[in-house]
Amino acid sequence: MSDRPVATSIEPYTITLRPGHPGLIELDWARSIADWTTAHLVDLPRGISRHTVRFVAFEQGTYAIKELPLKAAQRDYETLRRLGDVNGPAVRPVGLVVRPLEDPNGEQGACLITRYIDYSFSYRELLSGGSFGPRREQLLDAFAMLLTELHLLGCFWGDCSLSNVLYRFDAGAIDTRLVDGETASIYDTLSDARRQHDIDIMVENVAGEMADIAAEQGVSIDDADLHMGEDIAARYHAFWRELRAEERIERHEQYRITERVDRLHELGFEVDEIQLVPHADGEHVHLKTRVADRNYHTNRLRDLTGIQAAENQARQMLSDLHYYEMAHSGSLPANRALAAVRWRVEAFEPMLARLAQQIPPIEDPLQAYCDLLQSGHRKQNFTVEYSVAGARCDPPRSTNSSKSGHP
């Protein structure tokens, strides 16, 4: 933090911003955000929190502002910055406001500014009764994978809970991101003891949250899903084992190296390094892989088409593009990038425009597009383009219908 401007005692605040967010400078940072009346304030749904959180919208984007004691804000900001540097699964930090005239331990000591995650919601939106109904499996997998990814990046969370995560629909899965890093620290690598400590905290937090939910919904504590955290922990261990597995590959089994890389891609990970250590007997090698961020399909889709989507949405859209290429193989340019432009202009964009007119602005058009892909057109070997050409375009409602149980 040494390169930050140091405030003198007469300044009511200092603001440190990452580039590209000019509108934020004009806000009244000397006053508590609880007292703001600026026209930039927007009312957006948010989860339970101890601190005051408000949202502001500008032409360049929407932001979440959290007011909290100085040390916690600094720690949150540093954690989010470091996770952002490695494309980690967390909200992106935009700035930090320090109010040197306030008590640094007081609630108004500082403000953390993060980019608002569009179409995100809290876990409560997924509840049906005292538990998560048909979404439980997806939620648990996503949650376990989030903790695995963070640990792979060396992040000890210290307060992993359902409410410190933001959720978003991601094709047939759920995308999860750390939203609260006040207690987190990043290490070069995490020891097994630290990982276990983090898991223990998660199990306890989740049990508490499930007990609260049961109480609120009038469900008996005996019927509360109090072991959900243990279920998440079991899935976490399975992911960890798979991602860290060292495999023995015989001389005639070279294809297994490709299989392993394909499997990591399938899980969404970019492969950072492959390490092969030959055994003295010359008959086999030991294979180790190191993964980077979990944006494999997101990155491929963006490189090919310029479209920015969540990981599973991107996977599904790439497969739509593939079907399109097959269906038009005679008339498409051989160059993949040019074919992708044709798909985007002729199939994807027109359908997205139609969907955007039919869903409420708070719903994600890309998710609606994926819902449409999933809704059966694929089974008949149709691409979305054919349904555009059809007389009726009646896509399934995406996020809201999904929230109410649409698988």
Quote the strand ranges of 147-260, DSSP E. Answer: 155-156, 165-170, 173-178, 185-186, 247-250
Give the total of residues touching ligand ATP (CB under 6 A). Answer: 21
- Contact between 71 and ligand ATP per CB under 6 A: no
**Binding segment toward ligand ATP, per CB under 6 A, in 43-51, 317-325, 352-360, 399-407:** 43-51
Q: How far is the CB of 66 from Mg ion (least distance, A)?
A: 9
Specify the residue, 164 or 367, whose C-beta has the smaller distance to Mg ion: 164
* Residue of the chain from 4, 50, 71, 322 that contacts ligand ATP (CB under 6 A): 50
Q: Interface with ligand ATP includes 339 (CB under 6 A)?
A: no
What is the spatial distance between Cα 40 and Cα 132, in angstroms, rounded to a whole number? 35
Q: Which two tokens stand for residue 166?
A: 């933001």
CB-based burial, 241-280: b 16+ in 10 Å, e otherwise: eebeeeeebeeeeeeebeebeeebbebbbbeeeeeeeeee
- Pick the closer one to Mg ion by CB: 46 or 81: 46
Which is nearer to Mg ion, 164 or 398 (by Cβ)? Answer: 164
- Asked whether position 179 contacts ligand ATP by CB under 6 A, the answer is yes
The smaller minimum CB distance to Mg ion, of residues 141 and 180, is found at: 180
Q: What is the DSSP string of 345-401?
A: IIIIHHHHHHHHHHS-TTS-HHHHHHHHIIIIITTTT--HHHHHHSS---PPP-HHH
- In whole angstroms, the minimum distance from the beta carbon of 144 to Mg ion comes to 19
Q: Which of the 8 DSSP states describes residue 268?
A: T
Among 66, 82, 235, 294, binds ligand ATP (CB under 6 A): 66
Q: Does 47 bind ligand ATP (CB under 6 A)?
A: yes
In the chain, the N- to C-terminal Cα span, in Å, equals 45
290: left (phi over 0), alpha (psi -120 to 50) or beta: beta
The count of residues interacting with Mg ion (CB under 5 A) is 3
User: Does residue 310 contact residue 333 with C-beta atoms inside 8 Å?
Assistant: no
Nearer to ligand ATP, 126 or 339 (CB): 126
Nearer to Mg ion, 175 or 180 (CB): 180
Contacts with Mg ion, 34-73, as mask; x by CB under 5 A: ---------------x------------------------
Q: What is the 3-state secondary structure (H, E, C) of 17-60?
A: ECCCCHHHHHCCCCCCHHHCCCCCEECCCCCCCCCEEEEEEECC
Residue found by looking up tokens 């593939």 in the block: 322
Site for ligand ATP in 156-175 (CB under 6 A): 163-164, 166
If one asks whether residue 175 binds Mg ion (CB under 5 A), the answer comes out as no
H/E stretch holding 305: helix 296-305
For residue 69, what are the contacts with CB-CB under 8 A and spacing of at least 6?
104, 105, 106, 107, 109, 110
Q: How far is CA 28 from the centre of its chain?
A: 31
Q: Which residues pair with 16 in a beta bridge?
A: 96
Is there binding between residue 366 and ligand ATP (CB under 6 A)? Answer: no
- Residue 164 as a binder of Mg ion (CB under 5 A): the answer is yes
User: CB of residue 111 vs ligand ATP: minimum separation in angstroms?
Assistant: 12
120 counts as binding ligand ATP under rule CB under 6 A? yes
Q: Residue for token digits 């290490």? A: 187
Radius of gyration from C-alpha coordinates of the chain: 23
All residues at 6 or more sequence positions from 230 whose CB lies less than 8 Å from its CB, including other chains:
203
Q: How far is the CB of 311 from Mg ion (least distance, A)?
A: 24
44-52, 77-85, 314-322, 380-388 -> range binding ligand ATP (CB under 6 A): 44-52
Going residue by residue from 179 to 218, which x/- string records binding to Mg ion, judged by CB under 5 A? -x--------------------------------------
> Which residues of the shown chain bind ligand ATP in the complex (CB under 6 A)?
46-47, 49-51, 53, 64, 66, 91, 114-117, 120, 122, 163-164, 166, 179-180, 182
> Which residues of the shown chain bind Mg ion in the complex (CB under 5 A)?
49, 164, 180
